[in-house]
Structure 1
Amino acid sequence: MNNTPAIIPAPHRNVLTGSFRAVGADEITALAEALGTWAPHAARRAAELAAILGDAPAAGSVTATLDPSLDAEGSRLVVTAESLTLAAADAAGAYWAVTVLAQTIDAAAGTVALGEIEDAPAYPHRGVMMDIARHFYGLDHLRRLVDIASELRFNSLHLHLTDDQGWRLEIPSRPLLTERGATTDCSDGPGGYLTLEDYVALQDHAAARHVEIVPEIDLPGHTHALLVAYPEASQDGAAREPYTGTKVGFSTVDLTSDASWDLVTDIVTTVAEHTRGSRIHLGGDECLTLDEKDYGVYVTRLGALGAAVGKHLTMWQEALHGDLPTGSWLQFWTHKVDTEMLAARVEELDLRVVSSPAPKAYLDMFHDAEQVVGQDWAGLIDLRTAYDWDPVAGLPGVRAERVVGVETALWTETVRNWGDVTYQLLPRIAAEASVAWGSPRDFDAFEKDVAVHVARWEAAGEVVHHPGDRRGV
């Protein structure tokens, strides 16, 4: 038996004894009952765990309590020969503790590791960004992505819903967005979109796993699909054909016209009304045809719209040229920006930063030089590269307390199907989860642990990358 359970992300304090004892369905069901009154999602996860266990002798006492002395989302899990004790700062901390407990249990053997684990995340925001605009992925696949992410203690799924190649969310007041703008993808496929009913169902599924859905409507650029549907929102008003290529930076809505702003206001208002979380992402990247001053004025107005619909705002780092609402987040993705300027604007406007550096966190990049699926414009990202980076050190001049989290991203220009998605994500998403959680650095131990998770993913039918693979050849 392996005396070191494969816990990913690795906890900050892990005092396991190397011993195990029997654990059965009744004990974990008792834990679910103890959680039920104050952490219902953790209780459901514990009940799911109990369902895969057999009978075992009762171990003794089982308790689950709130402990406000712990850090936010933090927990303490103690398993002895006679008891199982879980304490958590809040309901989210309880949920993450149950996911850790699941990783210490060998269901086939019916055993649980003995010892104590105390843990809390280093960052409040731990996100996965999924592009469903270049290739569309529907409700079932997105639910599965939430499952994978939440087991690694990510707490946000950022959906890139719109781009030049496709519009992927129903806006009832603007039906042409999906009638005309959702009909293709980067492979000349049929495209598709989420209905608002789908969007609500996805949020239900995510909330039950303590994951927030953050929708992104990319503005003012990356808007060709929008302009196919409503050309009157463009600068020239000309009709457009759907675009299935991969170039960026060529499209923009008109920055000042009433038609354009009426459309944008309808869209942002509808998305906000149907988004349960507190945050909305309004893009702002790669507006290569626009004057910096005009772009800044537009972004300032866009930020005000985000505030007007009652949401906290995130935008890509280029939006530093606008005057964003206090407390807004800038998402850092490329060093093609003056980080000193970024740091200065963050201080001036009282903003926060999400770290998503493409050479470390963009999982559409090749794993290695043998790969075919994916891209390499930001370099190769092998498992160690995805693991060995510091979100603060990569942002010179930005104070550590301004960095609210980490987000890994999967852009899908070349990612054509669900097998491609998991091939790009697995196992590197586990490395990114370790960075986002702030786990102690030990790549050798992580590499051994991730092998256990690879076996679990493959047993569940997922496609996982292995060194030397050439998927797509």
Structure 2
Amino acid sequence: MRQHRTMAGLLGALLLLAAGLSSTGATTAAAASRAPRPLGRIVPAPASVAPGGSPYTITSTTAIRVDAATGAEGRRIAGYLADVLRPSTGYALPVRADGSGGIRLRLSGDARLGEEGYRLESGRSAITVTAHRPAGLFHAVQTLRQLLPASVERRTRQPGPWQVAGGTITDTPRYAYRGAMLDVSRHFFTPAQVERYIDQLALYKVNRLHLHLSDDQGWRIAIDSWPRLATYGGRTQVGGGKGGYYTKADYRRIVRYAASRYLEVVPEIDTPGHTNAALASYASLNCDGVAPPLYTGTDVGFSSLCVPKEVTYAFLDDVVRELSALTPGRYIHIGGDEAHSTPHTDYVAFMDKAQAVVAKYGKTVMGWHQLTGARPVAGAVAQYWGTAGDEAEVVAAAKAGTRLVMSPANRAYLDMKYDATTKLGLDWAGLVDVDRSYAWDPSTFIKGLPSGSVLGVEAPLWSETLTTSADVEYMAFPRLPGIAEIGWSPASTHSWPDYRSRLAEQGPRLAALGVNFYRSPVVPWE
């Protein structure tokens, strides 16, 4: 009996000890979850991080302060930051032009920060963000968001605390062009859906939105001088359905919204192939004068504008003129891929005339890398989508001065399946999980490229199998942040083990934002 009581006492002591250890562990875990995120644990990785000093805590007395020199753009960015922070913190966060402390946005004459770079300094009394241009302030705001707990992205009040670790981040992008393409032709996406995608791109410092506005399955932009392009050519999509198109007001809305997030819209009218929607809309664009039926399948390479006809260039001139007037950005993308039904001599002749039309309206021509098999004009930009990296004509064009945007399909195409079980997407370029999508260098992917020939990177998302924003998000995330990092961060920071852990920390943030992302098994999601 005595031994039984002794054993019972011992068991009780052990239970109390276990409870104490459990409580201590829970307390430690809770404390860790409240600790500020270390500087540099963001995507894309910053160029330079110098941690140190006390963290800054956002409280009910915090104000967002804008130097007078930042002007209206600075005040707008401050308002954007306040709109992000107010719902989750519950704080007023007034935007002011005076005083000290709080979160301060300022422009300086430090040209070393360039058009998009910034410096973020965090300490006990203030966070000071400095940039040379407003775009840098905006990118710094995206960094600040990621330095705060993921719950800051929620639209209802959260418990906090809202701390930013002490230290300094100095950050400038590796490449000037960091893009994402959305195919709105195979399936149509509304202006609101495009704006949702823009917001997601902005978080990762993407600065170009390439809109694939025409293809065999649909023409998506109103052209006043050729109205049937949109009203007839835009009335369907892959698999049937009503399709749709952007009025000029819709397109201007998208352009304005993108500009408010410091993204430049790059519109694409794919020519001379991928043109069945246009050919179906106007019989005169066909060599035989007979309009084909609208197309809802997914084959490629069967359509072509009629290169010898003068009406072809009247059509192209009108389209480029109206699209250029709507587009403040510098680029017009004329496509040029998979023109299998256009004889090579016709292709070269067409591209000569198409490039001249783009130049006539003051824009820089972009085209898929097949443009390098023709005669790229001075200043032309070719978008590489190959998989082998051994295309001699691309290297020759680069040596002659053509700049390249890198989008290798077996790395950067966001519509490739993650694995054999992925229900959405295609697999012609292979299966591309997150690690494979991250494991490449734009400057060395094509063998023999001269130094400085890469303008940047782009992550295209083709929509043959995508019909909703949830579909778009599932295929884009989490691969798009990796392409964004390849474009922004110094090559020396690219490390899959480090990126993998930083990407895992993005999971709660994407969830808080309501992004339907793929939880890849190669990432240890938080």
- What TM-score comes out, normalization by structure 1 length? 0.93
- Deviation at 1:134? 0.2
Q: 1:241 to 1:42 in 2, by over 3 A?
A: same
- Deviation at 1:120? 0.4
RMSD over equivalenced CA pairs, Å: 2.2
Q: Which amino acid aligns with 2:83?
A: E
Superimposed CA distance per residue, residues 109-161 of structure 1 (whole angstroms, 9 cap, x where no aligned partner)? 22222111011000000000110000000100000111000110000000000
- Deviation at 1:36? 4.3
Indicate conservation of the 8 Å contact 1:278/1:312, yes or no: yes
- Deviation at 1:105? 2.1
Query: Could you say which residue in structure 1 is the equivalent of 2:147?
Result: 104
Q: Does 1:16 align with 2:70?
A: no
5+ residue gaps, structure 1: none
Report matched runs for 1:18-417 at 5 Å: 20-24=55-59, 26-31=61-66, 35-37=70-72, 39-52=74-87, 53-55=89-91, 59=101, 62=104, 64-66=106-108, 67-106=110-149, 107=152, 108-335=160-387, 339-348=391-400, 350-417=401-468
Q: 1:50 to 1:465 in 2, by over 3 A?
A: closer
Q: Count matched residues.
A: 468
Q: 1:242 to 1:451 in 2, by over 3 A?
A: same
Q: Which amino acid aligns with 2:503?
A: V
For 1:385 and 1:247, how far apart are their aligned partners in 2? 27
Query: Could you say which residue in structure 1 is the equivalent of 2:38?
Result: 4
Q: Which amino acid aligns with 1:418?
A: S
Query: Could you say which residue in structure 1 is the equivalent of 2:509?
Result: 456
Superimposed CA distance per residue, residues 327-383 of structure 1 (whole angstroms, 9 cap, x where no aligned partner)? 1100010147853321212333x2211000000000100112221111110011111
- Deviation at 1:194? 0.8
Indicate conservation of the 8 Å contact 2:387/2:410, yes or no: no
5+ residue gaps, structure 2: 1-32, 94-99, 153-159
- Deviation at 1:245? 0.8
What SS class does the counterpart of residue 416 from structure 2 fall into?
coil
- Deviation at 1:40? 4.5
Q: Which amino acid aligns with 2:80?
A: R
Higher mean displacement: 428-437 or 258-267 = 258-267
Q: 1:362 to 1:201 in 2, by over 3 A?
A: same
Superimposed CA distance per residue, residues 37-63 of structure 1 (whole angstroms, 9 cap, x where no aligned partner)? 563443333232442434599856846
- Deviation at 1:251? 0.3
Indicate conservation of the 8 Å contact 1:346/1:352, yes or no: yes
For 1:119 and 1:79, how far apart are their aligned partners in 2? 14
Indicate conservation of the 8 Å contact 2:56/2:125, yes or no: no
For 1:295 and 1:231, how far apart are their aligned partners in 2? 21
Superimposed CA distance per residue, residues 370-404 of structure 1 (whole angstroms, 9 cap, x where no aligned partner)? 21111110011111111121001112122231100
For 1:25 and 1:325, how far apart are their aligned partners in 2? 57
What SS class does the counterpart of residue 392 from structure 1 fall into?
coil
Superimposed CA distance per residue, residues 411-447 of structure 1 (whole angstroms, 9 cap, x where no aligned partner)? 0111122211111011111111111113411323322
Q: Which amino acid aligns with 2:434?
A: L
Percent sequence identity is 34
What SS class does the counterpart of residue 30 from structure 1 fall into?
strand
What SS class does the counterpart of residue 39 from structure 1 fall into?
helix
Q: 1:214 to 1:377 in 2, by over 3 A?
A: same
- Deviation at 1:325? 2.4
- Deviation at 1:449? 2.4
Q: 1:260 to 1:427 in 2, by over 3 A?
A: same
Q: Which amino acid aligns with 2:498?
A: A
Q: Which amino acid aligns with 2:380?
A: S
Q: 1:68 to 1:291 in 2, by over 3 A?
A: same
Q: 1:165 to 1:14 in 2, by over 3 A?
A: same
For 2:432 and 2:442, how far apart are their aligned partners in 1? 16
Q: 1:171 to 1:115 in 2, by over 3 A?
A: same
- What TM-score comes out, normalization by structure 2 length? 0.84
For 1:390 and 1:215, how far apart are their aligned partners in 2? 26
Q: 1:219 to 1:55 in 2, by over 3 A?
A: closer
For 1:368 and 1:447, how far apart are their aligned partners in 2? 18
Q: Does 1:467 align with 2:512?
A: no
Of 406, 422, 447, which aligns to 2:473?
Answer: 422
- Deviation at 1:466? 1.7
Q: 1:332 to 1:41 in 2, by over 3 A?
A: farther
Indicate conservation of the 8 Å contact 1:32/1:42, yes or no: no
- Deviation at 1:235? 1.9
- Deviation at 1:195? 0.7
Indicate conservation of the 8 Å contact 1:221/1:284, yes or no: yes
Q: 1:26 to 1:315 in 2, by over 3 A?
A: farther
Indicate conservation of the 8 Å contact 1:351/1:402, yes or no: yes
What SS class does the counterpart of residue 292 from structure 2 fall into?
coil
Q: 1:262 to 1:297 in 2, by over 3 A?
A: same
Q: 1:72 to 1:386 in 2, by over 3 A?
A: same
For 1:337 and 1:298, how far apart are their aligned partners in 2? 26
For 1:74 and 1:87, how far apart are their aligned partners in 2? 9
